[in-house]
Amino acid sequence: MKLVRKDLEKDNAGQVTLIPEEPEDMWHTYNLLQVGDSLRASTIRKVQTESSTGSVGSNRIRTTLTLCVEAIDFDSQACQLRVKGTNIQENEYVKMGAYHTIELEPNRQFTLAKKQWDSVVLERIEQACDPAWNADVAAVVMQEGLAHVCLVTPSMTLTRAKVEVNIPRKRKGNCSQHDRALERFYEQVVQAIQRHINFEVVKCVLVASPGFVREQFCDYMFQQAVKTDNKLLLENRSKFLQVHSSSGHKYALKEALCDPAVTSRLSDTKAAGEVKALDDFYKMLQHEPDRAFYGLKHVEKANEAMAIDTLLISDELFRHQDVATRARYVKLVDSVRENMGTVRIFSSLHVSGEQLGQLTGVAAILRFPVAELSDQEDESSSEED
């Protein structure tokens, strides 16, 4: 993402002009937009024209519109973003108050104006414009007959290909059918890797599976690469890293990212940091439950005691349509930072973000134990009795 201009007032009202450069920037933009914002961008509008003879025709004309945002639609697989709203600025082709849907496009600038730019939104702009955040990882999660080829970017996990091949069982004295099907499966996975992984950007390709599937697959892939003189795979051989996972399903990617060998290799990526933070939270919940809280009420109570060491929060919560609720989450984030705590904002499109979403979307690892909120409520109710 490229920041063209930033005009903010003292009360944090103002506008920002950005140019999305990659598909992932559409995800960042989706998290910046809120209902009630004003969006100015180039778009195409079908306009009816009447000639001097009275015949009516229609032309598609590119024009620049300013909309008051009413609805936002994001397609995570295609990384397409559509914004619907009413026109709030005079235009020769579109009446004031008329509805229009703008499809934001890569490499075409837009200007976003808000009445209040909070710290979370401004931080996201900084991250989106920082090239160091694009340290990307690819992963092939597989088991016999099933494989997922994924791209793990700093803000999302994208499934680029799913390969499914029916593999017959080995029969006594006749394994040829099983072996042929397995070879066909491996070949399809290799094709998917070549089609969807850009080795110029990707630093590491995880190959994760239960048992010996990953070893057999990598042996097959590089034997074939030698036979066919596939320079792309041979030159990038060092980027492939084999790790264990319990299955070939997408959710098993979290286990692969938790592997210590992977963590050390991906120490500078946001995805690895998120997975480690969630792992630390689960360990704390298991061994010292008084130092691991989740749920907004419990976490706010811990924050009042200045007990939060690490706050884990899902970016989904900042897309809440209710301004007061959103402000409550932003206040929590700012307060934890003021008290020298660490804040990790999880992407809801990551496997780790999905898991945090199941824990209400907000959790905290505490510096010291704090009495459970439920215990305090019980005590206060018994005192009243």
Q: What local confidence, expressed as pLDDT, does residue 309 receive?
A: 94
Give the mean pLDDT of 170-193: 88
Is the same domain home to 371 and 315? yes
Give the mean pLDDT of 222-234: 92
Is the same domain home to 254 and 157? yes
Is the same domain home to 89 and 101? yes
Q: What local confidence, expressed as pLDDT, does residue 191 receive?
A: 95
Is the same domain home to 12 and 116? yes
Q: What local confidence, expressed as pLDDT, does residue 75 receive?
A: 85
Q: What local confidence, expressed as pLDDT, does residue 288 receive?
A: 92
Given a cut of 80, is residue 385 above it in pLDDT? no
Please report, for the domain that includes residue 151, its CATH number: 3.30.420.60
Is the same domain home to 73 and 169? no
Of 241-250, 281-290, 368-377, the one with minimum mean pLDDT is 368-377
Domain, as residue range, for 35: 2-129
Q: What local confidence, expressed as pLDDT, does residue 373 receive?
A: 59
Q: Distance between CA 117 and CA 103 in Å, rounded?
A: 23
Q: What local confidence, expressed as pLDDT, does residue 131 receive?
A: 60
Given a cut of 80, is residue 295 above it in pLDDT? yes
Is the same domain home to 57 and 111? yes
Is the same domain home to 247 and 172? yes
Is the same domain home to 338 and 364? yes
Model confidence at 268, pLDDT cuts 50, 70, 90, reads low
Given a cut of 60, is residue 234 above it in pLDDT? yes
Question: Which is more confidently placed, 377 or 343?
Answer: 343
Residue 56 falls inside a structural domain: yes
Given a cut of 90, is residue 24 above it in pLDDT? no
Of 90-94, 222-226, 241-245, the one with minimum mean pLDDT is 90-94
Is the same domain home to 191 and 210? yes
Write the secondary structure of the chain as one string of H (helix), E (strand) and C (coil): CEEEEEEECCCCCEEEEEECCCHHHHHHHHHHCCCCCEEEEEEEEEEEEECCCCCEEEEEEEEEEEEEEEEEEEECCCCEEEEEEEECCCCCCCCCCCEEEEEECCCCCEEEEECCCCHHHHHHHHHHHCHHHHCCEEEEEEECCEEEEEEECCCEEEEEEEEECCCCCCECCECHHHHHHHHHHHHHHHHHHHHHCCCCCCCEEEEEECCCHHHHHHHHHHHHHHHHCCHHHHHCHHHEEEEECCCCCHHHHHHHHHCHHHHHHCCCCHHHHHHHHHHHHHHHHHHCHHHEEECHHHHHHHHHCCCEEEEEEEHHHHHCCCHHHHHHHHHHHHHHHHCCCEEEEECCECHHHHHHHHCCCEEEEECCCCCCHHHHHHHHHHHHC
Residue 385 falls inside a structural domain: no
Residue 382 falls inside a structural domain: no
Is the same domain home to 281 and 264? no
What percentage of the chain carries pLDDT values higher than 90? 51
Q: Among the three residues 268, 287, 307, which one is the final residue of a domain in this structure?
A: 268
Structure tokens at 198: 């850009």
Give the mean pLDDT of 337-361: 89
CB 310 within 8 A of CB 117: no
Q: What local confidence, expressed as pLDDT, does residue 258 receive?
A: 80
Model confidence at 142, pLDDT cuts 50, 70, 90, reads very high
Residue 384 falls inside a structural domain: no
Please report, for the domain that includes residue 360, its CATH number: 3.30.1330.30
Model confidence at 380, pLDDT cuts 50, 70, 90, reads very low
Is the same domain home to 247 and 207? yes
Q: What local confidence, expressed as pLDDT, does residue 245 receive?
A: 92
Residue 383 falls inside a structural domain: no
Given a cut of 90, is residue 162 above it in pLDDT? yes
Q: Among the three residues 129, 159, 180, which one is the final residue of a domain in this structure?
A: 129
Q: What local confidence, expressed as pLDDT, does residue 51 receive?
A: 72
CB 116 within 8 A of CB 326: no
Question: Which is more confidently placed, 10 or 342?
Answer: 342
Residue 25 falls inside a structural domain: yes
Residue 112 falls inside a structural domain: yes
Model confidence at 10, pLDDT cuts 50, 70, 90, reads confident
Is the same domain home to 7 and 124? yes
Sheet order of strands, 240-244 included:
157-164, 146-152, 137-143, 204-209, 240-244
pTM of the model: 0.66
Residue 351 falls inside a structural domain: yes
Given a cut of 50, is residue 382 above it in pLDDT? no
Q: What local confidence, expressed as pLDDT, does residue 174 receive?
A: 73
Q: What local confidence, expressed as pLDDT, does residue 375 receive?
A: 52
Report the chain's mean pLDDT, rounded to a whole number: 86
**Residue range 302-330, pLDDT digits in tens:** 999 999 999 999 999 988 878 888 889 99
Model confidence at 267, pLDDT cuts 50, 70, 90, reads low
Of 48-62, 107-121, 305-319, the one with minimum mean pLDDT is 48-62
Q: Which amino acid does the sequence have at 187? A: E
Given a cut of 80, is residue 237 above it in pLDDT? yes
Domain count, the chain: 3
Q: Among the three residues 223, 253, 268, which one is the final residue of a domain in this structure?
A: 268
Q: What local confidence, expressed as pLDDT, does residue 153 receive?
A: 73
